[in-house]
Structure 1
Amino acid sequence: MPASESDKALVKRIRSGEGEAWQACIDQFEGRLLAFARSRLNDQSSAEDIVQETFMGFLKALPNYDDSTPLESFLFSIASHKLIDAMRRIGRRPTVPLLLQDSAGGVRREPSGGGRAASSMMRSHEKSFAESAVVEACLADLISDFKQSGAWERLQCVELIFVLGWANKDVARRLGTTEQAVANHKFFVVSKLKESAKKARLQNVNLDGMGLE
């Protein structure tokens, strides 16, 4: 999904050095980023550090930010990278707490029975975001590596299979190569994606619908 006009306008204002625009960006995304980081790390202080590092990373990457990329996706992609580094330092699998804060700042337990709790749906949404961010970040790194190494056929396969959703045989016909060669390129990329998901401690990542299975 392309970036919205409001995203583009906000980024333009931030680039111009408008302090109010930067604060608006923080106000809009800080809560969601914090919830995302906290659900993975189960530690408020560490989650706050991740969010701060995410915003700082965004400022550093701003000169190279593609305005067509949704701002939310870009920020969550940065956060995902920061989380991967943090989890490597921790050396353990993060867990989601059974005790959650209520709107009054107290602590409550997950309700049992009677349908799916809001917190459960939130975690599902965050897991989906985490998966998307890891896949997006991994593909971006792979594409950069392919360009640097001159692996143009593999790069073209990535674009045709994972972006446009072409079948192997159609890609082979377009590139003038064999279906086996295309399958090898696809297997390489899929293995890298699964490796990234494993490093990010994401279990049972759903790669269906992206030409990845």
Structure 2
Amino acid sequence: MATSDSDALLVRQVRSGNAPAWRQLIERFEGRLLAFVDSRLRDRAASEDVVQETFIGFLTSLPHYDEKRDIEAYLFSIAAHKLTDHLRKQGRRPIDQFGSDDHGRPLDEVPGGARAASSIARSSERRREEEKVLGESMGRLVREWLARGDFDRIRCLELLVVKGWANKDVARSLGLTEQAVASYKFQTIARLKDMARRAGLSLDAVHEG
């Protein structure tokens, strides 16, 4: 189903950097996305984070979004992927959690077959390389923030990354808005992705979830 004229206009306004349009898009779809995610996770704080990551994922993919595609279906597909990532991190099998979509298509696939030892070795080596580059990149960012006295950003990322706090808990602890926390996270991910790309790594090496 194609997106409605009003949704298409809203997307064009978001693309142009219209902040009120971005807030309107969130208000229009946040409730439905949250209900979908929370029905699977049964954890409100985690569900809110997944939904926030969904909107960040939408922003990241916006340059490639086809306005002929239904925006709600597109957002739900991003949410399903973010939900899959979250469940994998918890060691849970996504396909057992939410099976298939309304059209009977599986939302995730369980990998089959044993991996060859050489494949595992290459994967392990690649992971070490990624971790080294990302660690060095994060160190550069922290030094940059320290140099300009951007301590809120440092404390924010420490709570998000090191302690694994939910966005709203970080916002409450630091006296920031949740939008500010999400913005810090989004900007940091964008910088890390750029650094990873410059180092010749896949953008997938930097996870948004």
Q: Tell me the TM-score normalised to structure 2 length.
A: 0.47
Larger Rg: 1
Q: Tell me the TM-score normalised to structure 1 length.
A: 0.46
Q: Would you tell me which structure has more helix in proportion to its own residues?
A: 2
